[in-house]
Structure 1
């Protein structure tokens, strides 16, 4: 079967690889759609980061580059391994793409996303969604019912936003400021809006500003090249400032703006994977007793995220801005997102 294989920085190849088969406790999935993630772009431009370099296999998967890419996937169940009895052939599913040790429990209350040697399917081995088929442990497979499979491919990045929301401790009625209107920023905004928060987005891209307003995920959109974002936020919060903020850009000045725009005792959640060490004014954090929190991926978020979409409280269809074939991955996928990223939220690949 065909698969997109990451060999090294700037080197992704569409190659023939053996077709996997279900083994005990696993599920064989026919991949319908797989999104191209910002993490994939980081690997292509700056990696290897999560991908184990050639000669340095991952301690759990035992694999190193070249590996099959893709971790934002949806598909249908093609075969069930021995012992798997609670799924049906043809069922619509998504994958929570973790690679963790077998003895780590995946249950509510366990922060398995923080377990030693954690990594991701589609980055550190065990196949990937940018291939025709994949075999996944049963514990990582989530049924999505009648949710369309193209929209289902966005459940994984949406779960990132959901986990960030949970980490923030925000509740209905809070004013939230989101710094950056890229894919994760917009999807985090969608989660916050669905949960009853007032959402303010700070973004300079005209296309992304328009997307936020068109989809209704933001109540206000502020352009920091046109207005003073902290002043604007304080104006419509009666001088208080935002209750919560999410850093979704990986840009120093954006984080600095959030520190200025939130109120005393506020929470800022850093969602970005930074490509450099930021320089920010932490004095603002100190004098306002701001709580700066990190977040990574998700843990026990997929079920709640799927329900938000299936219930109709959140519509993922508008965020799909491109559909391409696997053979066009680099030219019409990666190159588009690198050179024309303002025109896209999520490009989906049909293997």
Structure 2
């Protein structure tokens, strides 16, 4: 079967590899669509990062480069391993793509996403969504309604990232949220916030992303820092109270500074983006306003509620898909587009 294999920085190859073995407790999935994540792009440009370098196997998966990529994917069940009794062949599913030690508890209230050596399917080994088929442990397979188109279902994984950030914030209906950055995660997070009854202020420079925010209705106010004073506008919109909660989705220090300035006293700032460089923060403002700055990573038992939002029609994922490509075109039409014309794309999905 075809698969996209990461060998090293700038070296991803479309190769023929053996089909996965369906072991006890696993589910065989025909991959329908797989999204290209910002993490995948970072691996291509600067990696290996999450991907274990060749000769340095991951302590849980036992694998190192080359590995099959892709962790944002949907598909249809084609095989069921012994011991799996609550999944049917032909069922539509998405995957919570964790690689976690078998002895880590994953029930309600458990922070399994913070366990030692955590990694992701499609980065740390165990196959990936940028292949025709994959076998995944039952724990990480989530059935979805057949009414959700499989191309849209590939966006449930990044949507779950936004849902977990919302949970981490403690925000509630009626609050005003300031989202710094309208990239894929910023837009999908905004969709979650709107579905949960918040007023959303989005800051973004890109014309394409501002247009997408307006088209999808995920933001009540869209502010371009090159055109307006964001701090002044936020205070005007909030009648000088400041935002109840803010989300940093850019790994840009100027954006973080703006969030600190415009979040209300005793408000919450959630750092959603992955920073590859140190940041600075106005600690005096944090102290004097008693701000709560929180990190968030991926998701933890959030897929069920995330899927529910889509199944109930509270979030429409179709408009966020800006390009559909074939696996053979992964580099030329996928990664190269994101490198050279990133602002034109929200989510590129691949059909393996």
Q: Taking structure 1 as the reference length, what is the TM-score of the superposition?
A: 0.99
Give the 3-state SS of the residue equivalent to 2:310 in structure 1: helix
Give the 3-state SS of the residue equivalent to 1:123 in structure 2: coil
Contact between 1:98 and 1:119, CA under 8 Å: does it hold in 2?
yes
Cα deviation, residue 256, structure 1 = 0.8
Post-superposition Cα deviations, 1:188-210, rounded to whole Å, max 9, x if no partner, equal 00000000000000001111011
Cα deviation, residue 222, structure 1 = 0.3
Q: What is aligned with 1:296?
A: 297
Q: What is aligned with 1:281?
A: 282
Alignment of 1:112-131 (within 5 A): 112-131=112-131
Contact between 1:171 and 1:195, CA under 8 Å: does it hold in 2?
yes
* Match status 1:72 vs 2:88: no
C-alpha separation in 2, matches of 1:21 and 1:77: 14
Cα deviation, residue 283, structure 1 = 2.4
Cα deviation, residue 21, structure 1 = 2.2
Alignment of 1:145-224 (within 5 A): 145-146=145-146, 147-224=148-225
Cα deviation, residue 139, structure 1 = 0.3
C-alpha separation in 2, matches of 1:288 and 1:23: 54
Q: What is aligned with 2:110?
A: 110
C-alpha separation in 1, matches of 2:61 and 2:36: 22
C-alpha separation in 1, matches of 2:285 and 2:228: 20
C-alpha separation in 2, matches of 1:249 and 1:222: 15
Alignment of 1:67-106 (within 5 A): 67-106=67-106
Q: What is aligned with 1:132?
A: 132
Cα deviation, residue 107, structure 1 = 1.3
Post-superposition Cα deviations, 1:100-149, rounded to whole Å, max 9, x if no partner, equal 00011221110110011100000000000000000000000000112110
Cα deviation, residue 89, structure 1 = 0.7
Cα deviation, residue 73, structure 1 = 0.5
* Match status 1:316 vs 2:317: yes
Contact between 1:71 and 1:123, CA under 8 Å: does it hold in 2?
yes
Cα deviation, residue 280, structure 1 = 3.3
C-alpha separation in 1, matches of 2:286 and 2:305: 32
C-alpha separation in 1, matches of 2:71 and 2:242: 37
Instruction: Mark the runs of 5 or more structure 1 residues left unpaired by the alignment.
Output: none
Instruction: Mark the runs of 5 or more structure 2 residues left unpaired by the alignment.
Output: none
C-alpha separation in 2, matches of 1:257 and 1:47: 31
* Match status 1:6 vs 2:17: no
Cα deviation, residue 345, structure 1 = 0.8
C-alpha separation in 2, matches of 1:34 and 1:211: 21
Cα deviation, residue 245, structure 1 = 0.4
Give the 3-state SS of the residue equivalent to 2:51 in structure 1: coil
Cα deviation, residue 282, structure 1 = 2.7
C-alpha separation in 1, matches of 2:184 and 2:168: 19
Q: What is aligned with 1:264?
A: 265
Using the TM superposition, name which of 42-51 and 129-138 deviates more: 42-51
Give the 3-state SS of the residue equivalent to 1:257 in structure 2: helix
C-alpha separation in 2, matches of 1:301 and 1:73: 16
Cα deviation, residue 85, structure 1 = 1.1
Contact between 1:253 and 1:280, CA under 8 Å: does it hold in 2?
no
C-alpha separation in 1, matches of 2:327 and 2:99: 24
C-alpha separation in 2, matches of 1:67 and 1:149: 24
Q: What is aligned with 2:26?
A: 26
Give RMSD over aligned pairs. 0.7
Q: Taking structure 2 as the reference length, what is the TM-score of the superposition?
A: 0.99
Give the 3-state SS of the residue equivalent to 1:331 in structure 2: helix
C-alpha separation in 2, matches of 1:8 and 1:58: 15
C-alpha separation in 2, matches of 1:282 and 1:79: 54
C-alpha separation in 2, matches of 1:236 and 1:170: 18
Give the 3-state SS of the residue equivalent to 1:52 in structure 2: coil
C-alpha separation in 2, matches of 1:231 and 1:48: 42
Give the 3-state SS of the residue equivalent to 1:93 in structure 2: strand
C-alpha separation in 1, matches of 2:284 and 2:149: 47
C-alpha separation in 1, matches of 2:205 and 2:292: 26
C-alpha separation in 1, matches of 2:265 and 2:154: 38
